[in-house]
Structure 1
Amino acid sequence: MALEAVAQDEAVKKLTRNQVAWRAANEIPDGSFVNLGIGLPTTCANFMPEDREIVLHSENGILGVGPAPAEGEEDPELINASKDPITLVPGGSFFVHSDAFVMIRGGHIDLALLGAFEISADGDLANWTTENPNFPPGVGGAMDLAAGAKQVWVLTDHVTRKGAPKIVNKCSYPLTAQKVVTKIFTDLAVIDVAPDGLVVREMVEGMTLEALQELTEPKLTLAPDCKVLTAPAL
């Protein structure tokens, strides 16, 4: 099933970007210290499970990032690494930018949620440049996070705007880090990067393994307990 067919097939219930963020947020274990990378991952702050204590870290010097403020209540001096307005949870703290990276490089971040241009079958991550001269590269803190966080999850569309797979056998773009990604959340599926290959844990309603495989370069294996990937309307 080509990308055009997926887009036109009303039976395939693709997730919105907010729904991808919601699904990833609800996978985070209780007690985790988590960094939300620039772009889609920062949206996860709006969907943190209320029954878990999860501390969100931002590399511009914040522990205790909360959800986005209501319209009209934004504080221009309170933003995340994406420069989006945020709130601060009770007990949250501010510190110098370099200390934020001490936490990252010291291995104190349990989980980093990052965006990606490409992810390889081995969990290699490419997310800082496409080598397009019209779009300057932006490393940011991604290399530090990919190397320093205990786990790295990726949130991304399953394919590019042109329909090319973003989950590939080998990354064609310069790498951010090698063999660091352990889980991938897309608008079509939740996939584990396991030692023996990619395992599909969840697929959206209307999607089949065969159709998903056509949009993914590496071989996919269906988990025995694979579930339907659903999310509330967001």
Structure 2
Amino acid sequence: MLKLNSREIIAKQIAGELKDGDVVNLGVGIPTLVSKYLEDKKIYLQTENGLIGMGPPPNDHEQDIDLIDASKAPVTITPEASFFDSAFSFAMIRGKHVDVAVLGTLEVDRYGEIANWSVPNQPILGVGGAMDLVAGAKKVIVASTLFTKDGSSKLVKSLTLDSSGERRVHQFVTEYANFIFQDGEIFIKDIYGDLTFEELESRIGLPLRRKITI
């Protein structure tokens, strides 16, 4: 069996969090990989550019240039898929018809507020649909590696980058652990990497709480 890389570990863990019947929006980056690990779950994947019923990524010979997600990556569709315009898509999001949004992130603060769209000294394309999804989805899960290339934690005391919205997310899933934000504290739901609870707490530099049942 091939060993999963960090991005795939995160995607597989998030797929395990989703429930049959969920309408789910997958953001750019790691979140797009979640569709590979849904197996037999009946999940309805929605994209901002106007599709509900997105299937797993296509093989090279299955690609259709007219079938893309919001990040312009090729996708497949399920038999019950529906197409609509972007305005209707955002009405679904703002009307709270999306059960779960899975977003990438650059930082998450100790309360679950995220920054995922603006990097200093880099061109800014705009926040895109992230701000709508943070505000409109019933549940928000963020997906990212836990540490930056220089070893700094992306789970921080206070954001140093531009916020994606004041509403706080529910979970932060990384290659090391699944974090839950609740009552102003950070709980670890699961540890599945090679760092212990004590090592995670030391490297992150924030107080963590042991596993909870939700």
Common fold, TM-score beyond 0.5? yes
C-alpha spacing 1:205/1:116, structure 2 compared with 1 (3 Å): closer
Percentage of matched positions with identical amino acids: 36
Q: Matched residue of 2:87: which SS?
A: helix
1:118 to partner: Cα distance: 0.5
* Residues 100-122 of structure 1: CA deviation (Å, up to 9, x unaligned): 00000111111100000101111
- Using the size of structure 1 for normalisation, the TM-score is 0.85
Of residues 87, 100, 121, the one that matches 1:133 is 121
C-alpha root-mean-square deviation of aligned residues, in Å? 1.7
* 1:135-174 to 2 correspondences below 5 Å: 135-174=123-162
Q: CA deviation at 1:187?
A: 1.0
Runs of 4+ in 1 over 4 A off after TM superposition: none
CA distance in 1, matches of 2:86, 2:69: 12
Deviation at 1:137, TM superposition (A): 4.2
> Could you say if the C-alpha distance between residues 40 and 205 of structure 1 is closer, same or farther in structure 2, counting changes exceeding 3 Å?
closer
Determine if contact 1:26/1:49 at 8 Å carries over to the other structure.
Answer: no
The whole-number CA distance in structure 2 between the counterparts of 1:47 and 1:206 is: 22
Matched residues, number? 211
Shift in Å, 1:43 = 1.1
| SS of residue in 2 equivalent to 1:199 | strand
SS of the residue corresponding to residue 21 of structure 1 reads helix
- Name stretches of at least 5 consecutive residues in structure 2 with no aligned partner: none
- Residues 29 and 109 from structure 1, CA distance in 2 versus in 1: closer, same or farther, beyond 3 angstroms? same
Distance in 1 separating the partners of 2:98 and 2:18? 13
Relative contact order (alpha carbons < 8 A, sep ≥ 6): 1 or 2 greater? 1
Contact 1:66–1:89 at 8 Å: present in 2 too?
yes
CA contact (8 A) 1:14 1:204 kept: no
Residues 1:185 and 2:173 are matched in the alignment: yes
Taking the aligned partners of 1:62 and 1:217, their CA distance within structure 2 comes to 41
